[in-house]
Amino acid sequence: MTHPTCTPATLLTSVQLPTTMGLDLSDRESHFHVMRGDGVSLETGKVATERGDLTALFERWKGCRLVIEAGGHSPWISRLGKDCGLEVVVANPRKVELISKSAKKTDRTDAETLARLGKSDIELLAPIQHRSKEAQEHLAVQRARIMAVSTRTMLINNVRGVLKSHGYRGPSCAPQCFAARARKELPAELEPALGLILDLIVKADVVIKAFDKKLECLGKEHYPVTELLQGVKGVGPIVSLTYVLTLDDPERFKSRAVGAYLGLVPRLKNSGASDPQLHITKAGDREMRRLLVLAANYILGRFGPDCDLRRFGLRIAGDGGDKKAKKRARVAVARKLAVLLHHLWKTGAVYDPFHLAKKRGDPVPA
């Protein structure tokens, strides 16, 4: 029953709809569209993607809602918007197909679409939260290490390819030992082509070791919880630090939601009687997902210690003859590992490798 003094019309007019600015970000110039809560456009235009110009624009519309898409510029622009007194919403571009699959896609129309979605229901934008400035700076060190490792891998592959094309074979060894071993076996006729490449590989090894030391120091000085996470065998300084930097704040998630955040849960396409088994979503941070799978490989490998995680994975893998089952086991262990690390981080509990086995009454090593 409607109250006599509160009709649907008066309810609609009493709702204070926000003034919203949609900002479509580009490297040099970004388009913006400012829209009043009732849908009236107040201002449109372009602004240089620089701190000074954006600050002037944001301060002119202080107090309104700013909607941007996640991308290369979005972390610092979102922080700038908050500092200027705007309510910032960062849309997930993978979820906003109204923009990515629009038949009439321009920077100007994208800015207007962001403004319209932002003033109606921000949940339609699947908003994300950027990590802190400090975490972003420290994560840049880890990303730089990845580039150094990738460079070394490309150089080693180049040496192997050249040797193979001339009837020789490169040494089978760890990347750190490759340059020294290859130089001993390098044919004289290939010295002009590969000698300097081997020098570059040695320099890359030095850079990677320096990054490893820097990341270990970052973990000890700024993120002491990483030592707690390293209690899980297979989780070293790089995996634990990357995990902490990727999630940034453990209070953002419930432990069981971390697997979905990192893209380690299967897609769903349940319609009627159809419920196919699909691949994982691969959402979130790709590098973190890769590191978790590498840790799972170690846990399930021949040198992996007996623990709840290993037993869980081996039950899924079966006798080892089914390659698909082994792959599912790796992903399942990686997902369970992500949940476990978050639980340890949030509670501060010391890792017990046989916590579940003891609860079930299963045999555990003395």
Instruction: Render pLDDT for 220-240 as a digit per residue (tens, 0 to 9).
Output: 999 999 999 999 999 999 999
* Helical segments of 223-354, H only: 225-229, 237-247, 258-261, 286-300, 308-317, 323-347
pLDDT recorded at residue 275: 61
pLDDT recorded at residue 13: 43
187-198 pLDDT tens trace: 999 999 999 999
pLDDT recorded at residue 2: 43
DSSP structural state of residue 71: S
Cα–Cα distance list, 326 to 69, 296, 332 (Å)? 37, 11, 10
Tell me the C-alpha distance between 181 and 202, whole Å. 11
Cα–Cα distance list, 103 to 20, 69, 71, 100 (Å)? 24, 19, 22, 9
Q: Which residues of 71-108 are buried (b: 16+ CB within 10 A; e: fewer)?
A: eebbbebbebbeebebebbbbebeebeebeeeeeeeee
Tell me the C-alpha distance between 306 and 245, whole Å. 28
pLDDT recorded at residue 271: 67
Return the number of other C-beta atoms located less than 10 Å from residue 182's C-beta.
Answer: 21
- Helix or strand holding residue 45 (H, E): strand 41-48
Minimal CA–CA distance to 149: which of 294, 247, 348? Answer: 294
Tell me the C-alpha distance between 244 and 229, whole Å. 9
Residue type, 361: G
Stretches in the chain below the pLDDT threshold 70 = 1-16, 100, 103, 271-275, 320
Chain Cα centroid distance, residue 178: 31
Residue with tokens 């388009």: 31
- DSSP code per residue over 94-136: TT-HHHHT-SS--HHHHHHHHHHHHHH-GGGG--B-PPPHHHH
Cα–Cα distance list, 165 to 100, 151, 212 (Å)? 44, 21, 34
pLDDT recorded at residue 272: 66
Helix (H, G, I), strand (E, B) or coil at 88: strand
Torsion angle (degrees, nearest 10) of CA 53, 59, 61, 67: 70
Residue 129 — φ and ψ, nearest 5°? -120, 125
Tell me the C-alpha distance between 45 and 64, whole Å. 17
